[in-house]
Chain A
């Protein structure tokens, strides 16, 4: 007898396939991210929308799997998770819209390969804004502090944890691997925003690893030094990220003299 996944009697097909769907959407989303001035495996016009909605598709399955269990706790967690994802979505899109407007292309590969080529002094500002916003978005999307505490055992304050309460065994492993991969994806995006795409390939690989490690350090530091927000302050906190993204958009409109 080996340890196996346990499925509750109230669940159906959706609950059993949801973790697989989540992981597969994340793996597909991986294929869109470029590296080192090459094209990504899948690359087409407007692929960042594809990317965002692939991740949303995976999250959707997680949510309906949580509803499928018939537990009200999981329903509550699903509700909060959906709400917070809705609040960060504008942040991501406005940020990418800024990049698209500034470089003139709409595909990840083209945006990042032309990011540092354009001849303006403001690129450093974009990089820093992009980096900061990606850190915040990653924090919210992966359900980390200060939005959600992965170690909490108080069920009424869980957001993501409560959705996966009923999963066990291999499925739970898939969900956790998905979360790690999402971190790696955001780390890759951050890397692309900071490091110019034309440099030496070995230097780029080394910098990639360094950026991922630095990202992990940053998340660790934030988690160690912040407490979890009060639940009713969370929406405002998350919406502030979108507000910052929107301000960044207007700032860049101003600085590039497009606003006249």
Chain B
């Protein structure tokens, strides 16, 4: 069952590379949160009940509901285009995304470890690369935020992979998530004005 969820997660990542509208990005983030919640439920069988409830509820509330809601408020309030603008044609992002998946599969095969399942390693690495690619190729701040959220999902997935043995690591990863969500979205997202959607002022 977990394998199906991980597969769906990988499909959402590839979808990021080919989608064009920001609303799709936000919906994909919500779907990813839901999938991670499902993976957490099915995978973490060995940690105690209170910790499991905390992890699952945090994933559900933060990643699936709260953060996409805040993001959609930012998008509608700033009135920026529904189309995300890229620093390079979208075609190259898709090629890079394909290569990222290739590299992550190869890396996962060479990093075999008795403690972590190879599938988790491959998809988590792919998530990391997709997040970095999104940050590097997009010009809008919202897209950077979404790339950062994807990197957080990658960290969460890594910590889920060893979560049965080291539950503390998941909790600290969630701490990162809450910190980023509250600070970035709450304070700055709602205060950024329309014309600061591209960071162009500070340069040499």
Contact = CB atoms under 8 A, between A and B. Distances in A.
- Do any beta carbons of A and B sit within 8 angstroms of each other in the complex? yes
Interface in B73-111: 89-91, 94-95, 97-98, 101-102, 105, 108-109
Contact of A242 (B7, B98, B118): B98
Contacts of A242: 98
Nearest to B6: A254
Interface string A228-254: 000010011001101110110011011
A243 B17 CA distance: 10
Contacts of B118: 259-260
B117 interface: yes
A255 interface: yes
A243 B98 contact: yes
A260 B114 CA distance: 10
Q: Kindly state the interface size class of chain A when it binds its partner.
A: 10 to 19
Contacts of A250: 10, 101, 105, 122
B14 interface: yes
Interface of B: 3-4, 6-7, 10-11, 14, 17-18, 89-91, 94-95, 97-98, 101-102, 105, 108-109, 112, 117-119, 122
A255 B119 CA distance: 10
Contacts, number: 52
Contacts of A232: 89
19 contacts: A232-B89, A239-B91, A239-B94, A240-B94, A243-B94, A243-B97, A243-B98, A244-B14, A246-B98, A247-B14, A250-B10, A250-B101, A253-B105, A254-B6, A255-B3, A255-B4, A259-B109, A259-B118, A260-B117
A200 to B, nearest CB: 34
A89 B90 CA distance: 20
A242 B91 CA distance: 12
Contacts of A236: 18, 90-91, 94
Given A247-B10, A251-B10, A255-B7, A260 B94 contact: no
A254 B119 contact: yes
A240 B101 contact: no
Contacts of B10: 247, 250-251, 254
A52 to B, nearest CB: 19
Contacts of A255: 3-4, 7
Given A239-B94, A243-B14, A255-B3, 8 more contacts: A235-B91, A236-B18, A246-B98, A247-B10, A250-B10, A250-B122, A251-B10, A253-B105
A242 B108 CA distance: 22
B51 to A, nearest CB: 27
Contacts of B89: 232
A259 B117 CA distance: 9
B55 to A, nearest CB: 23
A108 to B, nearest CB: 26
Interface centre among B6, B17, B108, B119 (most CB of A within 10 A): B119
Contacts of A253: 105
A239 B105 CA distance: 20
Contacts of A243: 14, 17-18, 94, 97-98
A236 B10 CA distance: 19
Nearest to A234: B91
Given A246-B98, A251-B7, A259 B105 contact: yes
B22 to A, nearest CB: 17
The 9 closest A-B pairs by CB, nearest first: A260-B118, A251-B7, A240-B18, A236-B91, A235-B91, A239-B94, A247-B14, A254-B119, A259-B118
